[in-house]
Chain A
Amino acid sequence: MSEHTEHSESGIPVKHVIGFIASIVLTLVAAYTTVMSGLPVPWIIAIIMILAVIQAVLQLVMFMHIAEKNPIPQYGNILFGFFIAAVVIAGSIWVMSFGMSDMDMDSGGGSGGGSEEMDHSEH
C-alpha cells in the first residue's frame, strides 16, 4: 500500500494547491510590477527576476518532490546545473558588456574608445 503521510486522504494534496496558488500570485505580482508600478527599470528587472527564482524553487519543491526522502539524494546535480547556468548567463552579459556601447549601429562604429581597444587587442 502506498503511504499517505504527506497527503490528505481525499482529493487534491494541500502542498500542490499551495504551490499552485503561490505561482499564480507570483506571476501576477511580476506582471503588475512590470506594467503598473512605474518603478525605475533596473528595480523592476531585479524584482521580477527574484520573483522568478522564488517561483522556480516552488516548482522544484512543491511539484518535483526534490526535497523528498529518496533512496538517492537528487538535488546535487540540478543545483550544480543552476550554478553553471548562472555563471554562463552572468558571465556572458558581463564580458559582452565591454565595448558594447561603441558597437551600436547608430554611432557609426568607429568612435574613439572603441578603436583604441581594437588596437590593444591586435598587438
Chain B
Amino acid sequence: MTAASLTGANTETNVPLKRRLKRAERARQLKAFALVGPLLLFLLFTFAGPIAGMLWRAVADQEVRQVLPQTVTALAGWDGKDLPDEKAFAALASDIQAARAAGTIAIAAKRLNYAQNGFRTILTSTARNLKASPEPGTAKETLGKINAAWRDRATWTTIKGASGPVTSFYLLGALDLVRNADGAIVAAPPDQAIYRDVFARTFLISLAVTALCLILGFPVAYLLAALPPARSNLLMIFVLLPFWTSLLVRTCAWIVLLQSKGVVNDSLHWLGIIDEPLRLIYNRFGVCVAMTHVLLPFMILPLYSSMKAISSAYMRAAASLGAPPLTAFLRIYLPQTLPGIGAGSLLVFILALGYYITPALVGGAADQMISYFIALYTTETANWGLASALGAVLLLATVLLALLYGKLVQGQQVTGGMKN
C-alpha cells in the first residue's frame, strides 16, 4: 500500500490520530528522559565535571601568566633567537616588584622550576635584590648584574615556554619528553625520565595478575559450571565471600600472613623447612599475590557465565564423531569460552591498571604503580599539572580498554541471543 492511498482514503480520521499518537509518544519520551535527567546532572557535578577539570589541569598553564603578566605580553612577539629587548626586561622588573609586594613570586617560581631546575633561586634572588625600579633603559643591565642567568637566552625561553594559557609540558613530561630551548621535543634527562618505567611496570604487573587470575580462575569456573546447581551454588560462596569482603581486610590479611614474623614464615620455620624468614611481602611477589586474590572473582564470574551457556551437546557430538577428549576440549569447548576469557581478562586488566591501595600497602618502593604517583603529586608535592597529565594517560588507557570490553560483551549478548 502506498502512502498516498493511505492518506487519501482516511484523511479525516487517520492523520490526526497518527499525529496525536506521535505527540503522545514524544511526550512519553520526554518524560522518560526527564527521569534520567537528575542522575545525569548529578554525575555532571560529581563525576564528569571533576574529571574534565583534571584533564584541563593537565594542559593548563596559568601561573606565570598571572604572576608575570607584562613579561608574558612583552615576550609574545619575541622570536627566541637572541636575548629579548629592553622592553621585556623592564616588564619583568616591574612584574617581579609587583609580585613581591603581592607575595606571589613563589607561585611562578614553582612552575618555572619544573621546567628548569634552579629557576626558583634565579627568581627569588632577583626579587630580593631588585631594590627599586631600574631607570628607563637600564633594566637589561640591572637584571643582568643581579643574576647572570638573565643574560642567558635559555632563561627567557623557559619563561616564554611557560606563559600559557595551555601547554604540552605536563603531558610530554608524563611520557618522559621535554621541549629543548629551540622548541623541539626531545627525551627528558635520565634523572627525570621515570614515568615510562612506571607505565611499563603498571602494565607488567597488571598483565601478570591477569594471567594468574586466568590460570587459577579457569579450572574453578569450569568446575562450577559442570557441577549440578545445588553444589555449585554452595561452592560459589568461596568466590563471593572474598568478593564482598573489604579490600582493606584482604590486604591486611595478606600482610599478617606474609610478613617476616607472619603466619606463613612462622609455620615454615616451625616445620623446619626454612631457617631464615622468606621475604614474601613489600616486594613484587606480595603485590602480585594480593592483587590476584582481590581480582580473581572478577575473572571467575564472567568465565563461569560464559561456560554455563555452553551446551553439553557440543561435547557429546564431538565425542560421538570420534574426537578424543583433549581434541574435543581444545577445538570445541575452549573456542566457545573465548568471549568469557576475553571479557574476564579485560575486566581484571582494567581494574588492575588503576590499582592504588594494595600496591601502596604491600609493595616496596619499586612496585608502586601509576596511581601511586598520581596520588603522590596531588597530595604531597602538589605538582597538580603532572598528576593530572599522568591521570589523563591512565584514563585514556582505561577508556580504550573499556570500549573494547563493551564491544566484546555486546557481541556476546548478540550471539547468546541468536543461539537461544
Do chains A and B stick together as partners? Answer: no
